[in-house]
Structure 1
Amino acid sequence: MPDPLLIIVALLCGMASRAVGMPALIGYLAAGFVLHELDVDGGEMLQTLSEMGITLLLFSIGLKLQIRDLLLPRIWGTTVVHMLATQLAVLGVLSLAQHLLPSLGLSITVNLIIAFAFSFSSTVFVIQIMQERGEMASRHANLAIGVLIIQDLAAVLFLAASTGKVPELSALWLLLLLPARRPILRLLSLAGHGELFTLAGFALAILGAQVFDSVGIKGDLGALLIGVLLAGEQKGKELARNLLYFKDLFLVGFFLSIGLSGWPSPSLMILALILGGMALLKPLLYFPLFTRFHVAPRTALLASNSLANHSEFGLIVIAVAATQGWVGPEWSGAMSIAIAVSFVVSSPLNHLSHSLYRRHRVRLLRHESPMVRAQRPDTRDVRVLILGMGNIGTGAYEAIARSYGRQVLGIDDNDRKLTQHMAMHRRVAAADASDPDFWHRIALDELELVMLALTNHQENMLVADLLRGMGYKGRIAAVVRFDEEATALEAKGISAFNLYAQAGEGFAAHAARGLRERRQDGRGDKEASEQNT
């Protein structure tokens, strides 16, 4: 069967998987197993897509990597401890399996690699869950993604060392990449924002991989480090958004090729099911670790539950180890089954996360550290709340503060942005708008207006439902981009401002005001001229 038809089969299986609430990659894996049963093999195109997907995945990780954030103990400390504990637990299961099922042929090397592969959680799964719930900007999403990046870095180091090649002396020339950062950013600026910009991103990822590979260092590490050079810059963030779906598209080839490799043996299948179900145990350690590192209990719970799965990076580790002959190729199929099982059991847990916190809130708050209590924002005498202090929220703050003064409070979750606002003497605080604990500290009966300047419809809906559920009777206004979003909010009694539709009115008012001023200036010049005459 031609490779393009394989992609169509993967598309159909991915859509079916998404329709039942599972990540699309489960469908891609299933498509591979189905095609294997039909004696279908993949061709060169599928292999190329697979390699490109891994390269773009690592490049995208580099673009999101903020060294300053990753150095926080709650990120790297939790990740390191959890990965070690997970590996010990998996090693225990594998040792027991070897005793009960000697036919598995598990050795110390195999056990160590398998345990390492199961210590990761899925970036694809977490991002999909957060996007669907409109929580990508939340504290628990940032916390979970920070942990995932540290895990991914550990996997990249494994991939870089897996070739066993000693870097050539010419690898020292790679130090020239550091001063190349500004020229690369300049190149991206010249590329604009359209297809040239996206193509430049592809070229940078491929070029980075090829350059590193040419000096004896695994190319995937090169793609990652080129991304790190651009991390934190506006162009880097824009490039990460543009490449998001392309990366997932190319990874289809990787997941298909895993399924096409075939099913594991029955005994290995049973072990894969057990290891897949063990993903539900991950939050039992994540939660106490997070709270120990002074994370609020709600943030810790939601982040922990989102990480209750196994990762596609585990598949990559196993695939690379299989090519080196360290593990048998049947482990790729076993790992894919374990990942699919972990997604199936993790999805209901994540859907119940918010209700679990509300139900056990009092008990969970006992784990709150004194440091977290001391950082609660001052919410006294607040009459207007603005959620989201970007350009729109800042403009709204300046306009409404003329009437309400210090009774206006701006809320955001970006520490650097908040520091800038404080320097401008604005009253702002760090908080998660979707956190009911924050709203419990607000005198809702004294609050007159809540302005949702989040520009994320799902998040706006989430916060609006939370407020109404807590009995808030005041006015809520929200920023939207599309008519259907405005309709959904207005059905809940929320005033919606359409950025696109109503921006024209604002533009016309601005132009008309300038025209009036010009006429007045012209009239004044004419009168002055007549007086001089």
Structure 2
Amino acid sequence: MADVSHTSYLPAILTFCAGAVIAVPVFRRLGQSAVLGYLAAGIVIGPSVLAVIKDPDAIRGTAEIGVVLLLFLVGLELQPARLYSMRKDILGAGLAQMVLSAGVIGAVAWWFGLSLGGAVAVGLALALSATSIALQLLEERGDGGETYGRRTFSILLFQDISIAPALALLPLLATTEAEAGGSMRALAGLGFALLAVAIIVLAGRYVLNPFFRILAKAGAKEVMTAAALLIVLGAALLMEHVGLSMAMGAFLAGVLLADSHFRHELEADIEPFRGVLLGLFFMAVGMSLDLKLVADNALLLALAAPLLVLFKIAVAASILRASCSSTTEAIRAGALLSPAGEFAFVLLPLGLSLGLLNPQQGAIATALAAISMLIGPIVAKLIDIWLLSRTQAETMDEDFDGAGGTVIVVGFGRFGQVVTQALLLQHVDVTIIDSDVERIRSAAKFGFKIYYGDGTRLDVLRSAGADKAKIICVCIDKREDALHIVEMVKAEFPTVRLHVRAYDRIHAIELMKANVDYQMRETFESALGFGRVTLEGLGLTYDEASLVIDHVRDRDAQRMEIQFTEGLAASLTKVPRVTPEPLIKPKAKSKALTQETREVIEDGGAEVAVGGVGEPER
């Protein structure tokens, strides 16, 4: 019996995986969002078509964790400085879009016979937009830094923030409609909810950073991942127990960690779970779409879904156009905001469970939200093609001020600290990546963007903005890790310049083979400077000593080029042995001052020296 219980989950898991790997590539090949692939896969494997999965509600609880993790990642983006710079769009355009859309949709729902509470639930649910779809489309277009992309994100941000009060409002509406005397219990529940929020805020302020600092010192990455899931799911469970949403708890946890040095490490750890579970969530949404209900209400849904999408485009575009966006930007942003959001499938079941909606009303509203998510990205794609074809000349004159990249410095040890001093003097926008807690603390004094994380991981580099950087400076002292970073950056971010610290001469040759833009041996220039001052101490002038040092530098560069070329000709994988060798022929013969020294020299006499200045093989 044990074997049966353990293997009973495998058919469902294999079904989900098969549906995803078949549907998502097909939809991406058609130029559509992966979300559409998940929805379509869910419809096919659900009860309405193949009935491979007969009970979609059985996986909804697990799938909703994907939404929880999505809100946590949204919360991680809510840094105070970023929020302040976006305040007008968030509080202005975001609030106006939510109020107008929810008000009109709710009024139409009330006109169709829904109760006041049910109309509010439907209005709020359908006024929200799909954050995952909009952000994915922006990423695919590479327009996240464009004006319309930033304004779209601001409205999505307000919607995500408004989810928390919306989730708190629906139980109050249900209590008010059910019994007037229950308002005291509702207020008591609200008090418990506020207490839970206060607990999470205090824990985030005084516990989370020291907690992660202790774990970081332990050096176990899997424990950091487990701790991140513990914090997110623990906050979510606490909020669920006081009558609010799990998503709200995760959102608060993310906000409290937005200024943490461990933010991007947490983001990189959570992202794979978020992606898989959010995909599962969309498949669950597709499975819950009752095609028989859609067929029975075909005329209503066929009219309502396109009207909903076009109405939301018109509202968002009008608001953005009135707040000084160009017509093209306003329409493109409105198109991205047109599908119903992920939280429609949280708010509508909540309204159903509270009695604000009857099963028929809830099913039709859910079907309307799902259909809008299917057609919304297609409409956005068509509108984008049409607008770009008509306004090509206009887009050439767009303002790209501030779109320039930054410098990312991987490694903030003794070498990286000196490099960043010059950048700091010129007020360059610098991002530091390091996995050492003490170095992170030191970097905080410089005023840089600081990300705790492993710079050898692609997801950490991507999260830190490597795709938008102008230069990535690799300043770590491990040669293998430096070469690994170079390989990743060359493959994933080919337009970014690479400046790399070389450990020694062999490492420098390897970096030259990897076609980095600039490399420097960590002790070479400092040793030349030391030698110049020594020459001055022997009586040479500064100019005379500098001329000698320049001569040494030129000869070393010539020798490096010879070794680089010979190494490539000999073998693509074999690096020639490098040992110290003088760049000019000495006038005097070396003299051993002791017998032990003479024996050491004679034992090594058979070796062939092909190296450079003062660098033993290491």
TM class by shorter chain equals 0.5 to 0.7
Counterpart pick for 1:268 among 297, 313, 338: 297
Deviations 1:367-414 (A, max 9, x none): xxxxx9xxx97xxxxxxx99324457xx89979x99xxxxxx9899xx
Instruction: Please report how far the alpha carbon of residue 124 of structure 1 lies from its aligned counterpart in structure 2 after TM superposition.
Output: 0.7
Deviation at 1:53, TM superposition (A): 1.4
Judge conservation of contact 2:98–2:127 (CA < 8 Å) in 1.
Answer: yes
User: 1:228 is aligned with what amino acid?
Assistant: V
Cα shift at 1:518: 5.0
User: Of the candidates 46, 69, 92, which is equivalent to residue 56 of structure 1?
Assistant: 69
Q: Does 1:516 align with 2:528?
A: yes
Cα distance between partner residues in 1 of 2:300 and 2:336: 23
1:123 CA drift (Å): 0.7
Q: Work out the CA distance in 2 between the residues paired with 1:296 and 1:389.
A: 28
SS at match of 1:309: coil
What residue is the counterpart of 1:22 in the other structure?
32
Residues in 1 aligned to 2:108 and 2:270: alpha-carbon distance in whole angstroms: 38
Matches within 5 A, 1:458-477: none
Q: 1:144 aligns with which of 128, 141, 152?
A: 152
Contact 1:135-1:141 within 8 A present in 2 as well: yes
Q: Which residue number in structure 2 is paired with residue 344 of structure 1?
A: 378
User: How far apart are the structure 1 equivalents of 2:110 and 2:197?
Assistant: 43
SS at match of 2:522: helix
Equivalent residue number for residue 333 of structure 2:
303
Aligned to 1:469: none
Aligned length: 429
Q: TM-score, normalised by structure 1?
A: 0.67
- Secondary structure in 1 aligned to 2:142? coil
- Tell me if structure 1 keeps the 8 A contact 2:407–2:429: no
AA aligned to 2:136 is Q
Question: Paired residue for 1:456, among 467, 470, 488?
Answer: 467
Alignment-derived partner of residue 168 in structure 2: 160
Q: CA deviation at 1:237?
A: 4.2
In 1: Cα distance, 2:338 partner to 2:391 partner? 16
User: Aligned-pair distance for 1:209?
Assistant: 1.4
2:144 alignment partner, SS class? coil
Percent sequence identity is 19
Alignment gaps of 5+ in structure 1: 99-104, 366-371, 378-384, 403-408, 413-423, 425-453, 461-478, 490-495, 529-533
| Structure 1 residue matching 2:497: 3-state secondary structure | strand
Q: CA deviation at 1:81?
A: 1.9
Deviation at 1:211, TM superposition (A): 2.4
String of CA shifts for 1:64-109, please: whole Å, max 9, x gaps: 224543872332221222223223443565577x4xxxxxx75554
Which deviates further from its counterpart, 279-288 or 48-57? 279-288
Q: Match for residue 44 of structure 2?
A: 34
Distance in 2 separating the partners of 1:38 and 1:133? 35
Instruction: Name the structure 2 match of 1:252.
Output: 279
Higher Cα Rg, which structure: 2
Match of 2:546 in 1: none
Residue among 84, 90, 93 paired with 2:99: 84
1:318 equivalenced with 2:348 (yes/no)? yes
8 Å CA contact 2:134–2:336 kept in 1: the answer is yes
Q: Counterparts of 2:268 and 2:367 in 1: how far apart (Å)?
A: 31
CA shift in 2, pair 1:168/1:360, >3 Å:
closer
The Cα offsets for residues 8-40 of structure 1, whole Å up to 9 and x where unpaired, read as 133122222222122222222222221222233
3-state SS of 2:351 partner: helix
**Does structure 1 residue 117 correspond to structure 2 residue 125?**
yes
The aligned amino acid for 1:184 is L
1:128 aligned to 2:136?
yes
Name the CA shift for 1:483/1:398 in 2 (closer, same or farther; >3 Å).
same
Alignment of 1:393-432 (within 5 A): none
In 2, Cα distance between the equivalents of 1:70 and 1:21?
A: 33
- What RMSD over aligned residues (CA atoms) do the two structures have, in Å? 4.3
Structure 1 CA distance, aligned partners of 2:363 and 2:65?
23
**In the alignment, does 2:344 pair up with 1:333?**
no
1:5 aligns with 2:28: no
Map of 1:172 onto structure 2: 195
- Paired residues of 1:10 and 1:31 also in contact (CA < 8 A): yes
Pick closer, same or farther for the CA change 1:386–1:55 going to 2, 3 Å: closer
Rounded to whole Å, the distance in 2 between the matches of 1:200 and 1:320 is 29
SS of match in other structure, 1:135:
coil
> Which 5+ residue runs of structure 2 have no aligned equivalent?
1-8, 173-185, 410-418, 431-445, 447-464, 471-485, 501-510, 541-618
Letter in structure 1 aligned against 2:128: F
